[in-house]
Structure 1
Amino acid sequence: MNNRLASRVNTLTPSTTLAITAKAKEMRESGIDVIGLGAGEPDFNTPENILSAAIDSMKDGKTKYTPSGGLLELKDAVIAKLERDQGLTYERGEVMIGVGAKHVLYTLFQVTLNPGDEVIIPTPYWVSYPEQVKLAGGVPVHIEGTTAANFKVTAEQIENAVTDKTKAIIINSPGNPTGMIYTREELESIVQVCKEKDILIVSDEIYEKLIYDGNEHISPAQLSEDAKKRTLIINGVSKSHSMTGWRIGYVAGDAEIVKAMTNLASHSTSNPTTTAQYAALEAYNGPQDTVEEMRKDFEARLDKVHPQLAEIPGFHVLKPQGAFYLLPDVTEALEKTGFANVDDFAAALLTEANVAIIPGSGFGAPNTIRLSYATSIELIEEAIRRIHQFVKDNWKE
């Protein structure tokens, strides 16, 4: 029988995050006390005012189709948010609402990439970037953000990676899995290269509200008119308003690209879920105090657990500036404990110490592990205690 699968799906790498999460869930359901530090979502419920707005919209009969690119009033709320937070001005035709930021990114690559087009992806990267590029016929080109450079890449690295096939670069700030933020000066150098080489900037800003220690979020689109024209801002309510399951994200940028994305969405999703759009409308137009409360809570957790993690032998961990992840370099710990790689280390940690973390191999950073502190401080501290003991028990001098 002929292969029934399209060749493009044969290149996909299974999600390490989902595999670990599934295994941890299975163990937990069998009665094992597993602590999961793999979650990529806030552990807070969606704020009450947003829940009420969603319920009210349903009771008011707002349960029908919307325009494929999203409710006009939600587009307006996004436009107002970008003006309010970043001083950026957009029109409705430059904004599309999608089924989460992931869907928006997928759609963006589908409408901008031709077979063989290259997309520069700094490492460590979010797991779906290279897979989405490949599904669109593109070629991921990785450049390394080293620990010494705070997991960030330079304009010089980007310039050296550009070829005549380069279509875009992805900038994720604050980053997943690193939590690091690009400064204004670093971004100015990067956007200058993008201007000279005429490449698009895909700016994933989904963690922009989760920033600590007085750091500042800057979008490449803020830096010049040229930068704004070539930047596609990707964002949404998932992380900022604890609405991961509602699946509402958006793109703001070039009208021609946004129109093409909207046309594609009309044949794939019809429209984002109507109720979720009304919830997002309240998220952007309503009170923002819960956003700051959540940010403060995450910052307090980070300040408390980062020093504890850094005390584990063989762990070298930078303090992140945003998001809710820690990404220790465990090269020394692997050498001293005898594990061949981070995948084996993570598997043993789960079965022997009942702690679920994500190996950095899935993020293009094979000497690291990712821990999320989007859970209670008590559980995080207990997990770190277990990891510490696990490393000590396996340490070989």
Structure 2
Amino acid sequence: MHENPGISGTAAVRPAPRVRKRLLPTLGDARNSIRDALRDAGLAPGGDQPPLILVACSGGPDSLALAEAASFFSRRGDYRVGAVVVDHGLQEGSAAVAERTRQKLEAMGLAPVLVRQVTVPTSGMGPEAAARTVRYAALDAAVEELHADAVLLGHTLDDQAEQVLLGLMRGSGTRSLAGMPAVRGKYLRPFLGLRREATLEICEHAGLDPWHDPSNRDSAYARSRVRTEVLPFLEEKLGPGIAEALFRSSRILSADADYLDEKAARTFEKLRLDPPAGSGAEGAELLLPEAPLRDLPAALRQRVLALAALALGGAQPSYERLAAVESLLRRTGSAGPVQLVGKVSVYRQPRGKAVHHGGSSYGNLVFRKKSST
């Protein structure tokens, strides 16, 4: 009797089955959030040349977790996934942080990974706004250079809750209280429904060592005070769930703001009048008829007035400035002008008087921007 060479004794020796690592539930949620955001943006996976997605990564837990979740789609071949690391140069050792972040991203399989150094201006605006402005300029340049289809940002539900509270502190309107949009052009925020704790858990699970920005705990910044003092205080005094409630409010207000903004844009284009021939020698002008403006609901009227200022190159007027413009419609006081940011003035043309070098415009509000020359 011949012994089977593949059998030792009476039983075959088989290799032990490979143990698959259990998928972390929060990582699965993160991947699903990215997939849904890309699908909603109309970016279909696969193809001969899959869409190029860039992750904006600071090296912090939120953006590192975002990169880790996005790398899954790169490995599957659904999308090409790269990253951009922006070094603001605001802290000692920032270049080393950016380099370590680049190495981590490349180890995930992301390509290309760009590191961009920027200079944050120290005058003209607050430090947070200045850093945000140059950061987005660097990201915009990377999108153009690489012909990227989308940029993923790592803002979480907690960031959104902080944004809503900051809007409340400023006394802002619906659009500001709606918080950060989930989509703005090519910028997508797939993690707005995820808590910050989830990103920390993903980083720990993946063996990543995120950088923790010390400015996030610097009480000199309003956002840091909201994060470290205000929200924890509200949770302590009012009970858990404050961040989630603020996030839900932002979703509701975002839908309301989208509807009102769209309706206001159509109304503005319908009401907008060109100035009489020969007017505007010293700048640009446009007219809005007073009677239809008075008939509008306040929410629409204020938006239409703001759109008129923006159409001339001005800035978004404050609530107080819009209230001053509305007082012209009541025709009980001064005929103006009301000065708005961006060298835009608004006035009510008295009966029989003409717009600058033009015909009578009685019954209209005149918006005028002075020429810079």
TM over 0.5: no
Please identify the structure whose Cα radius of gyration is greater.
2
| Pairwise TM-score range, normalised by the shorter structure | under 0.3
- Larger relative contact order (CA 8 Å, sep ≥ 6): 1
